[in-house]
Structure 1
Amino acid sequence: MQSIYGKLSISAEDNQDLQIEILNNEEALRNIGGIIFVRHLIFAGIGGNSIAMFVYVRKFKQSSYRTFIVTLAILDLVTCYVLMPIVVVALRYPIMHQNIGACKVSYFVLYFMAIGSSIILITIAAERYRKICVPHRRQMSEKISKYICVLDLIIRILLSWPAAVMYGNRTFKTNVDVIVGR
């Protein structure tokens, strides 16, 4: 708006929005290292997991180990495509992040991946233990490994869904008294 004298005047609401944007940009500058790091992880994760999937699907014969590695690579690709971009946005807009759905999705995917990756890695360790320490006993079949991956998926969902319900955006006070961040 322009006043009678030709000078630009800003309403109180516009002034508050401008102050929030300035505070947000200051916080984003503090997070620039994290933003760059996560972006590098995205590209490395997409490249590395794509190569792993290609190699294990094309070059290795079917086995329980191959099943676990391909499952882990697929889930890591989901992390690179879904969770990490949301993390970059949250780091870029630490005060102005308004999308509640993205918040809920990111927490769900975070817990989903952390729980499941650890279950699969423990299963890989158990399978390797059996192959090394008890090689003459019956080993895990590919069919059993697929059942374990499905069971892992069910466990992940059961343990992760509360994160989507409980977490979301929160409001907090900033350095400026009248400005509340999200």
Structure 2
Amino acid sequence: MVMTLHITAKAVVPANMDEEMKNATFTTYTSMDTFYSDSTYLSTSVVPSPTNVTGNTSDLINIYITSGPYIDAINDEYFSTVLLPSFIYACVLLAVGIPGNGLVVYVYGFKSKRTVSRTFILTLAVLDLINCLFSISTELVILRNFLKFNYPTICKISRFVTSFCNHSTTIILLSIAIDRFRKIRYPLKKKMKMSTAKIIVICSMLFGCLTGIPFVLFYGTKTQFLREVETDTQRLVYQGKLCLPRDGLDIIYQEVLLIVLSFAHVLSDVILGVLYSFVGKSVLLSHNSFRRVDPASVKPHSERKRSIELGRRNTLRLNSTSSAPGTAGRTNTMLFLVTLVFILSFMPYLVLAFLRTFQIEAKQTSTTEKAVRHFFLRSYFLNSAINPILYCFVSKHFRQEAITGVHRMVPGRKSQYTIQRQTARQNVRKS
């Protein structure tokens, strides 16, 4: 009869392990290919190859090991060969995202006039900053300890925060697109109030919390077989601990969650695409109509009145859509780019997650393919760090205030830069 012993401490490795391994037989499990092919580790570099098998295997004692030098060695090699590009990618996003989103919060929170657009941009920056400070930071720890991350509570919180930020961002981007659409299609109608924008922000937070609950329930520690070592008296089963859907969770729940999330993302992407296509079409029509209209050349009074009204409508549209006349147009362009990056950054993740969950992907993959797959499974982190860069390229106001804020943080340059700014403002007023 087979005896089973569950041991997780490092002390489970016997003192005579090196001697016993001379007569050991090894069995490598392929269950990591079945459930999570990205985590498969097939290597004989850590433990020597078997020579022969002795003894009755039915009398062996099973010892389950989840930590220790052999687990560390497997984890370190998997990190260096597969996860290192993803780790570097997350480090770059963290280095860019934290100071960048901090500047966005500073500029749009303290150095800008409170408008509906500024409120939405500030909310996006706060969500992105939370994502950087906690989600990406935790992901770095998970990547470094990918096969030995036995911290289910941290895993649950990390996935909840990521879900909360991303889903709240989706609602904010939809609200921005609707606000842009209303200003374009109905420029003379009443605009969105600040109170309405604040209610939308609160509702987006509640929506993010509600949609994050399944991640708390489903995620945790997933036990994964790595390899098996048989000696004359015992069977050592090495197991990894991963931050994935927890042990005992039925696969149907993972499939349903992924289908619902994928459908929601596709639906929101379609709505955003339709709204911004109307915005772009209206911008082009407004430019063309504004160039053709010449109210002074129309002789009949009724036609002159109609042309003047058309010119006024087109002027209003230009002031709120065109990137050439002023700030409103640049804001439109900036928000459109933010939305586009959000949509594109989620596409690789959704495709790979769908293939992984429904086991459509190839079972046998090379180390390079696994590294690429892990890299793009974290593609959605991009939208949390790249927005400040987009603001710098598009918004002149953000660039100026961000440069001012940075100069104020540098010792010895605060007073000099303040004098330069005051002199520049006086020159503008004189001119």
> TM-score, normalised to structure 2's length?
0.39
Larger of the two Rg values belongs to structure? 2
Q: Which residue does the alignment assign to 1:108?
A: 160
Report the CA distance between 1:11 and its aligned residue: 5.7
1:151 and 2:203 aligned: yes
1:125 matched residue in structure 2:
177
- Report the identity percentage: 31
2:147 alignment partner, SS class: coil
CA distance in 2, matches of 1:11, 1:158: 53
| 3-state secondary structure, aligned to 1:174 | strand
Task: Report the residue type matching 2:76 in the other structure.
Answer: N
Which structure has greater strand proportion? Answer: 2
Q: Is the Cα contact below 8 Å between 2:71 and 2:240 reproduced in 1?
A: yes
1:111-132 Cα offsets, whole Å, 9 max, x none, are 1112111111111111111112
| Distance in 2 separating the partners of 1:85 and 1:11 | 40
**2:122 aligns with one of 70, 82, 91:** 70
Task: Report the counterpart of residue 179 of structure 1 in structure 2.
Answer: 238
State the match for 1:26 in structure 2: 77
In 2, Cα distance between equivalents of 1:78 and 1:62: 22
Question: Is residue 17 of structure 1 aligned with residue 68 of structure 2?
Answer: yes
How far off is 1:59 after superposition?
3.0
Contact 2:152 2:219 in 1 (8 A): no
Report the AA paired with residue 132 of structure 2. Answer: C
2:164 aligned with 1:164, yes or no? no
Kindly indicate whether the alpha-carbon contact (under 8 Å) linking 2:156 and 2:216 is maintained by their aligned counterparts in 1. Answer: yes
Deviations 1:5-40 (A, max 9, x none): xxxx836589x7211010010111121111111011
Corresponding position: 1:36 with 2:41: no
Aligned length: 173
In the alignment, structure 1 residue 98 sits paired with structure 2 residue 157: no
Cα distance in 2 for residues equivalent to 1:104 and 1:93: 16
Shift of 1:176: 4.5
Q: Which runs of 5+ in 1 are unaligned?
A: 1-8
> 1:138 & 1:11 partners in 2: Cα distance?
81
CA shift at 1:102, angstroms?
A: 0.9
Q: Which has the higher contact order (CA 8 A, sep 6+)?
A: 1
The one of 129, 137, 159 equivalent to 2:189 is 137
Deviation sequence 1:19-70 (CA, Å, 0-9, x none): 1010010111121111111011011111211111122123321111111111
TM-score (normalizing by structure 1): 0.89
* Cα distance in 2, alignment partners of residues 63 and 20 from structure 1: 54
Partners of 1:125 and 1:58 in 2: how far apart? 24
Q: CA RMSD in A?
A: 1.8
Once the two structures are superposed, residues 143-175 of structure 1 have per-residue CA deviations (whole angstroms, 9 ceiling, x without a partner) of 100000001111111111121122111001114
Query: 1:4 maps to which residue?
Result: none
Matched, 1:82 2:134: yes
Q: Which amino acid aligns with 2:212?
A: S
- Opposite residue 239 of structure 2, the aligned amino acid is V
SS at match of 1:169: strand
Residues 31, 168 of structure 1: alpha-carbon distance in 2 compared, 3 angstrom cutoff: same
